[in-house]
A = this chain, B = another copy of it.
Amino acid sequence: MNEFALIEHFFADPAAHEPTPPWLRLGIGDDAALLVEESGWETVITCDTLVEGRHFLAGTDPEALGWKALAVNLSDLAAMGAVPTGFLLALTLPEADEAWLTAFARGLFACARRHGARLIGGDTTRGPRALTITALGRVPAGEAILRSGVREGDDVWVSGRPGRAALGLAVRFGELSPNLPGAGEWLAALDRPEPRLALGRRLRRLAHAMLDVSDGLLGDLRHLLERSAPPLLTAEIEVARLPLAPLIAGGAPPERARTALLAGGDDYELLFTAAPESRDRIILLGKELDLPLSRIGRIVSTEQPPIVLIEPDGRRTLPEVLGYDHFRP
């Protein structure tokens, strides 16, 4: 099967026979896709690459990979408060393996359908297995939630149960037993992360700053603080407020749970700051979405390092492990 037949066969958009959404003028099949612009909106665009051996293992379930490749990009849109529109898939494969492609496309389109994203273009090439997805979304003009909006006095919040994906990876590597009560949930968090799109959208005009936790909570929190305007701000994180209990209840050793939560990547939960006056609205929002939202600390203006941990006994410590660096060997 040649390149063109391959593309047409596996990446024929299953939504192609549905009504064309108003933002889409032209999808797959030409030199480029065309999206209708509309005053009062902003286009949100991001891309992420997954490389075999680096971001996923050879032999990874292709269906899970298809899901995750799109999910991590949609998570970036969620972190801006955007609604997804289309995406482009640049897929590099060592060979046109029909079984692999069928499963990959199934996972990819399952995620796309769930979150209303439409495949509008891409490229297929031969080479070491890797994929880059470019995801597009829209947000009302001026309402995107940027990293740079952190303010002194803000609360620091995180969604969901960060740390699960890192524990899932430990299970997969045989470092933790697959028989632990939490193992199934952790593996699911690793393989099929849920981009927090509904939360992101509902946090418009409520959160001051936001990003998604892909490299680890502390490392990403640091990225957030680095984007804030002077004066330099510090995040004081209260360890007692971290959602550690569910991880430990799942069977994770306490120290491992703490490291997974603070430094494990791949969770794609949203980390955001908001005014203390917004606490009630945020708590209500978490209930409406049936999604745990943890208030884990606050932003202060001091001469301290960017992040301070306040231990349950009141001691103040400086975190060591800050995040995952894709260029560290």
Binding site for B on A (CB under 8 A): 1-4, 6, 25-26, 29-55, 76-77, 79-80, 82, 88, 90, 92, 96, 120-128, 130, 132, 134, 136-139, 141, 144, 146-148, 210-212, 223, 227, 325-329
Contacts and interface: CB of A to CB of B under 8 A. Distances in A.
B49 A90 contact: yes
A18 B44 CA distance: 22
B120 A45 contact: yes
A39 B126 CA distance: 39
A327 B122 CA distance: 15
A226 to B, nearest CB: 9
Contact of A31 (B3, B54, B80): B80
Contacts of A127: 51-54, 128, 130
A41 to B, nearest CB: 4
A104 to B, nearest CB: 15
A48 B49 CA distance: 13
Contact of A211 (B31, B51, B125): B31
Q: How many copies does the complex hold?
A: 2
A40 to B, nearest CB: 8
A25 B120 CA distance: 23
A218 to B, nearest CB: 14
A148 B45 contact: no
B30 A45 contact: no
A152 B4 CA distance: 25
B32 A77 contact: yes
B49 A92 contact: yes
Contacts of A32: 44-46, 76-77, 79-80, 82, 137
Contacts of A2: 325, 327-328
Contacts of A77: 31-32
Contacts of A38: 37, 39
Given A51-B126, A132-B132, A35 B31 contact: no
Contact of A45 (B33, B51, B130): B33
Given A2-B327, A125-B326, A37 B41 contact: yes
A76 B31 contact: yes
